[in-house]
Structure 1
Amino acid sequence: MKSPSSSIRDVLAANLKRERTRRGLSLSKLSQLSRIGKATLSQLESATGNPTIETVFSLSRALDVPISDLMDTRYSDAVTVVRAEETEVLSGAGVDLRALDRIEAGGVIMEVYDQQVRAGCEQHSLGHAGTEHTVVQSGMLLAEVDGRRVELGPGDYIAFDGRLPHTYAAPEGAVRSVLVLHYRSGHEKLKDPPH
């Protein structure tokens, strides 16, 4: 999702300013909508802030855009190879995300992430745009979505409306998973998450 020469800070700065301006929002109004301080937003737009998962997800929710609209520089090659050592990690309180790709087809946008929930940690989200899909690769993941707790092991899958408050936790050791976020083109709100 990013070119090797672009940092997460630079990409987020340009995309955040573009999306905020496109919607005619002041920094103050975006601060209210996202629950992020105006000074922090100013730093993010000037590429001097340190974005976290929580920040990016809050901005996605407030602007009602896919996360990749904030983080994407678009690959143009027919074959996309993403090397782990060349991909910046976006970290939060309990999760490290590596953006792998953004796919657009048939009126749907899908973002693919390598996700690691750190051992003994929890990652809380107030919600964000799109539908969230997670497939556990290794470890035991505890997911709580809108008050419903589910334990997931290797090969298990969960999907839900990303706008719902949710938490991922790894109480027994690190968890590796594939996270896919999907949105309708034009960022229309999804009515029913797949079952």
Structure 2
Amino acid sequence: MQSKQAGQVLAANLRAIREQAGMSLSELARRSGIAKGTLSQLESGQGNPTIDTVFTLSGTLGVPVSDLLTATPRTEVVLVRGADVDVLSSNAVDLRMLRRLDLTATVVEVYDQRVRPGEVQRSTGHPGREHVLVTEGVLRVGPPEAPYEVGPGDYVSFPAAGPHIYETVDGPVTSVLLLEYAAGDARPHAHWD
């Protein structure tokens, strides 16, 4: 994440969710494995979290990622300019959360996802279901022992609870990632490696 506004949204949401859970900063640090100083910086709006950090906090607090990253829209029309959205990065993936959709009993997060060649993004699992639509390039995604190979126009969906990977086959990949959470579908200790 990069902008001051996004940092303030994360700071406010993280503190509110932690306090609502009745958890101290020290307890959140212990449960998440994230240093207390780092958490303090995030809650003050001074931190610069990675994908790993945000997904770990999501899993530890038992909330969708979007609960941490999005402010409530104030109008009926929502226009999101990609250039205005902060990027969460890891060793292989750049994610930009474009929208959170609160449906009846489901939350869906919409991401612009870019996967860089030469690295493998590994996840030990997290709440929900992943939906991936590749728009450019060829992507290996899914369980590490039997990933799916998907190209432009291809779509794959799988439960996100188990280990899974993202890896390019040849060159960079552009895709749309939807994370779908059923009501109450959040479990502790989920994170990207």
How far has the Cα of 1:146 moved from its partner? 5.7
Quick check: 1:88 aligned with 2:86? yes
Name the stretch that deviates more: 139-148 or 13-22.
139-148
**Counterpart check, 1:188 vs 2:166:** no
Equivalences for residues 2-151 of structure 1 within 5 A: 7-145=5-143, 147-151=145-149
Q: Is the 8 A contact 2:11 2:43 kept in 1?
A: yes
TM-score between the two structures when normalised by the length of structure 1:
0.86
Instruction: Specify every segment of 5 or more residues in structure 1 that has no aligned partner in the other structure, as ranges.
Output: 191-195
Taking structure 1 as reference, are residues 76 and 175 closer, same or farther at Cα in structure 2, changes over 3 Å only?
same
Choose the corresponding residue for 1:160, options 155, 158, 161: 158
Identity of aligned residues (%): 46
Say which structure, 1 or 2, has more relative contact order (CA 8 Å, 6+ apart).
2
| Alpha-carbon distance in structure 2 between the residues aligned to 1:62 and 1:147 | 26
Query: Which residue identity lines up with residue 185 of structure 2 in the other structure?
Result: E
> Are the aligned partners of 1:9 and 1:49 in contact in 2 as well (CA < 8 Å)?
yes
Contact 1:54 1:125 in 2 (8 A): no
Give the TM-score normalised by the residue count of structure 2: 0.87
2:177 corresponds in structure 1 to: 179
Contact kept? 1:134, 1:158, Cα under 8 Å: yes
Superposition RMSD in Å? 2.0
